[in-house]
Amino acid sequence: MSTDIAKFNAAQAALAYIKDGMVVGLGTGSTSAYFVRLLGDKVRQGLRVKGVPTSEATRNLAEQVGVPLIEISQVSAIDVDVDGADEVDPQFRLIKGGGGALLREKIVAAASKQMVVIADEGKWVETLGAFPLPVEVTRFGFALTSERIHEALAATGCEGAEVSLRVAGKANEPVITDGGNYIIDAHAKRIPDADALGAALKNIAGVVEHGLFLNLAHVVILGKAKGADVKTL
């Protein structure tokens, strides 16, 4: 499918940012999975890198394709983080967390000297918010936390304020993150002030982390049916 080709092209273009000897943040999601597989190919060809996975799913994939891994506790900095996004705006602000790994993804991104975002061109938007914003919350008191998230959406001028607990499977059981938390999906529809919303969410007791990635991305690579468009701030 054309979207898969675009994701592959974005991932392939990101290899240009990987140099021998680097510590590389390995993102989570379908586009990041293409990158991990391509990186595995480069490792088999002699490239020496160490990867820091942002989820157990990415860890498993990296091990399968032969990318050497290092625990984040063993590094003081990460040279480059390559990760996907659910939405990207012209200021390189992101919504992430559709794959449920936003907490670890943000920790790795914040520890990286450079964050390279890879996505198909359909993820480029003028204003964030059409994709539901994931918010990782503690299980204790999550219903109260959900109410506060709803209030934060309304208070910061979002067009939508519906919130829902992320569930999966036939039994609709709550999704549990790698950190043992729940995810609340905030259906903002349109986020006019991402900075204000991010600050408001951070101030809510019970919120572990939110999926607004602000002032973290340095490069955005948008894959197309043929090639990729590389954008820098």
Checking if the pLDDT of 1 tops 70, the result is no
pLDDT of residue 233: 85
Checking if the pLDDT of 206 tops 70, the result is yes
DSSP notation for 82-130: EE--SEE-TT--EE--TTS-HHHHHHHHHTBS-EEEEEEGGGB-SSS-S
Give the helix/strand (H/E) hosting 186. strand 182-187
Please give the average per-residue pLDDT across 133-138, as a whole number: 98
Checking if the pLDDT of 51 tops 60, the result is yes
Phi-psi region of 66 (alpha: psi -120 to 50; beta: other; left: phi over 0): left
Distances (CA, A) of 151 to 5, 144, 157, 206: 40, 11, 10, 14
Q: Does domain 2-124+215-228 have CATH number 3.40.50.1360?
A: yes
Provide the whole-model pTM. Answer: 0.96
Q: Which residues pair with 71 in a beta bridge?
A: none
Please give the average per-residue pLDDT across 223-233, as a whole number: 95
Q: Is 63 annotated in the active site?
A: no
Catalytic residue among 87, 105, 136, 209: 105
Per-domain residue ranges of the chain: 2-124+215-228, 133-206
We find that the CATH architecture of domain 133-206 is: 2-Layer Sandwich (3.30)
pLDDT in tens, 54-98: 999 999 999 999 999 999 999 999 999 999 999 999 999 999 999
pLDDT of residue 2: 87
pLDDT in tens, 100-115: 999 999 999 999 999 9
DSSP notation for 189-225: S--S-HHHHHHHHHTSTTEEEESEE-S--SEEEEE-S
* Fold match flag (2-124+215-228 vs 133-206): no
Please give the average per-residue pLDDT across 7-30, as a whole number: 98
